[in-house]
Amino acid sequence: MADEISVAPSATPTVYVNYTDGFVQAELAEEAHEFDAISALVLNITIIICLLLAYFVKRYQIYYLPESAGALLIGIIIGGIATLSTEKLTLFKFDPELFFFFLLPPIIFEAGYSLDRQGFFENIGAITLYAMFGTMISTFVVGIMCFYAAKLGMIQSIDKENPMEALLFGALISAVDPVATLSIMGNDDLNVDPLLYSLVFGESVLNDAIAISLFRTFAKYYKPDGPDWSESEIPGALLSFLVVTTLSIVVGVGLGLVASWIYKHTDLNFFPKLETSLLFCFCYLCYATAEAVELSGIMALFFQGVTLSHYNSYNLSETAHVASEEIFSTFATITETVVFIYMGMGVFTGRFSNWDVGFSVLSLIACLIGRFLNIVPLSFVANFWRKGRNRITGQMQVVLWFAGLRGAIAFALAENMPGNHKEVYSTATLSICIFTIVVCGGFTERMLTMFGMKEDQTPSLGMSPSSGDRVLTRITYEPHTPSRRESLVDRHRRRLHHGIKGIWQRVDENFLMVHFGGDADRPRSSPEPEYEMGSIQNDSSEDSSENGEESSFLR
C-alpha cells in the first residue's frame, strides 16, 4: 500500500510538465509568428519606399542617384536598424539559394522575353566577345593578380598556395551587373547612342550566366587541402565551361520550342488565364531542368525567353500577350528592388568579422585592370568587322569600361565560395559592389555628357521611343550604307554576312515559324507595330539583299 501511495504522486508532475512544455512551445511559436509578421511588414514598407524613390528618380531625372543605388543605401540603413534592434536576423539576411531560385529567374527571363532582338543580334559578335572571352580575360587577370599578391606577401588573408581559389574569386567578381547604368542609359531624355546601349545591355545579360558557369566549373576542380593540381586542369575546366554553356543554350531554345509547339497546336488562346499560368510554369521548368542536370539555368532561361518572345507571341491571345509582358516586367522590377535591399542589409546582418581593406582595394584595382584588358583589345577585334558609324569608338569603350558594375550575382556567388577564406572574399565583393553601384553608377550621366554620348544625332542606329525603362527600351536598326570606295574584301565580307542572314531568314520563315510560331502573313498580337511580321520578297535582287532585308528574328 505504501508503494502505491508513493507511485501516484510521481505520475502527476510528469503529466504537468508535458502540458507546460506544450504551452511554452505554443507561445514561442506565436512569438515567432508575430516577429515574422513584423519583419514582413518592415520589408514591404522598405520595398514601397524604394519604389517611390525610383518614381522620384525618374520623375525629376536625378541621374546621380540610380534606382539600384537608392535601394542599396536604404537596405544598409534598414539592416543597421535591424541589427541594433534584434538578434533574430533570419528574414534580413541575404540567402543565396533564395536569390538563385526565386529572385533571379524573373529578372533573367524578363530580360530575354522583352529583349530588343534586332539590336542584340545585329551586335551579337561584339556582345559574345565581351561576355564570353571578356569574362575569361577578367577572371584570369583578377585571379592571377590576387594570387601573386598573396604569394609576394602583400595580402595575408587569402590562400597563397592554391591558385584555384583566386580564380574562383576572379570568376565571381567578373559577373557584371550594370542595372544602375542601364537605368540611366535607357532614359529617353538622354538620347544615348543606341549602339552603346545595345552593347552594354547585351553584355550584361550574357555575362552573368557565363560568370556563374565559369565559377561552378572552377569549383569542381577546387581542392581545399592545397595546391594539388596541374596546369592541364585549366584547359579541361574551360572545355567543360564551353560544353555547359552550349548545352544550356540548347536546353533553353529546345524547351522554348516545345512550349511554342504546344501553344500553337492547342486552343489555349481561348483561356487567357491558363495561357499566362502555363507560361510561368514553362519558365521555371526550364530553369529547374538546367539546374538539375548541372547546366546554367540563367543561360537556358534567357534563351528560352528570347525563343518564346519570337515564336510563341504569335500563338498567344491579345489578352495573354499584353498581360504576360506586363506581369513579367512587374515581377522583374520588384525582384530587382528586393535583391538590392537584401544586398544592402547584408552589410550589417551578415555579421562579418573579417574586413580586409587592403584586399578589397587590391581587388577593386584588379577589377578595373581586368575590365580594361577586356574592353580595349576585344573592341579592336570587333571593329575589324565594323565600318563607319557602326564602329565602337574610343569614347564608347571608356563608357563600356566604366559600366562594369558588380552586383547581387557576384555577392551571391561569394556567399557560396568554398574554403576557409569565404568571409574575406564576401566582404571584398560587397565592398566592390557598393563602390561600383553608388560611385560608378552615380557618375554615369556625367561620363556620358563628358564624351558627348548624349548629343542629338541621327546615327545609323536609331532609338525608337519607349517608356524609359531599362528592359523595355527598343532599338531600331537602319542598315549602314557602305562607302562608294568599298574595298573588295569589305564587299565580300558584307555579302557573306547577308548570305548567312538570308539562309537563316529562309529557315526561320519557311520551317520554324510554320511549326512553332505564326505564319509570315499573320499579324502579330503585339501592341508594338515595329515587330509586325512582313512577308519575304522572293524576287529580291542581290542589291536589296546586300543592303539588309531583315530576318523576322530581328524584327
DSSP 491-522: HHHHHHHHHHHHHHHHHIIIIIHHHHS--TTS
- 54 and 75, same domain (yes or no): no
pLDDT digits (tens, 9 = 90+) for 407-417: 888 988 998 88
Top-confidence residue, 351 or 514: 514
- 457 and 511, same domain (yes or no): no
Nearest of 104, 542, 554 to residue 301 by alpha carbon: 104
- 469 and 514, same domain (yes or no): no
Beta bridge partner(s), residue 476: 462
Q: What is the DSSP string of 173-213?
A: HT-B-THHHHHHHT-GGG---HHHHHHHHHHHHHHHHHHHH
pLDDT of residue 505: 74
pLDDT digits (tens, 9 = 90+) for 523-536: 444 444 343 333 33
Beta bridge partner(s), residue 463: 475
Print burial letters for 97-135: b (CB count within 10 Å at least 16), e (below 16): eebbeebbbbbbbbbbbbbbbbbbbbbeebbbbbbbebb
- 212 and 236, same domain (yes or no): yes
- 519 and 470, same domain (yes or no): no
Is residue 92 within 8 Å of residue 289, measured between CB atoms? Answer: no
In the Cβ-directed half-sphere of 448, how many Cα atoms lie within 13 Å?
Answer: 27
- 198 and 236, same domain (yes or no): yes
- 447 and 495, same domain (yes or no): no
Indicate the residue among 476, 507, 522 that finishes a domain.
476
Is residue 213 within 8 Å of residue 174, measured between CB atoms? Answer: no
- 498 and 545, same domain (yes or no): yes
Indicate the residue among 444, 476, 508 that finishes a domain.
476
- Let me know if residue 65 belongs to a domain: no
With cut-offs at 50, 70 and 90, classify the pLDDT of residue 539.
Answer: very low
> How many domains does the chain fold into?
3
Beta bridge partner(s), residue 461: 477
- 145 and 255, same domain (yes or no): yes
pLDDT digits (tens, 9 = 90+) for 148-192: 999 888 888 888 888 888 999 999 999 987 666 666 676 666 677
Q: What is the mean pLDDT of residues 485-511?
A: 60
- 446 and 509, same domain (yes or no): no
Q: How far is CA 522 from CA 162, 513, 514, 535, in A?
A: 59, 11, 11, 9
State the residue range of the domain holding 26: 2-60
Is residue 424 within 8 Å of residue 356, measured between CB atoms? Answer: yes
- 372 and 492, same domain (yes or no): no
Record the pTM. 0.77
Q: Check residue 158 and give left, alpha or beta (phi > 0: left; psi -120 to 50: alpha).
A: beta
- Let me know if residue 66 belongs to a domain: no
pLDDT at 3 over 80: no
- 45 and 13, same domain (yes or no): yes
Least confident of 224-228, 245-249, 276-280: 224-228
Distance, in Å, from the CA atom of 502 to the CA atom of 554, rounded to the nearest integer, reads 12
Top-confidence residue, 338 or 190: 338
Distance, in Å, from the CA atom of 549 to the CA atom of 73, rounded to the nearest integer, reads 48
pLDDT at 254 over 90: yes
Q: What contacts 307, CB < 8 A, 6 or more positions away? A: 252, 253, 256, 257, 260
Neighbour tally for 165: CB within 10 Å: 27
pLDDT of residue 205: 81
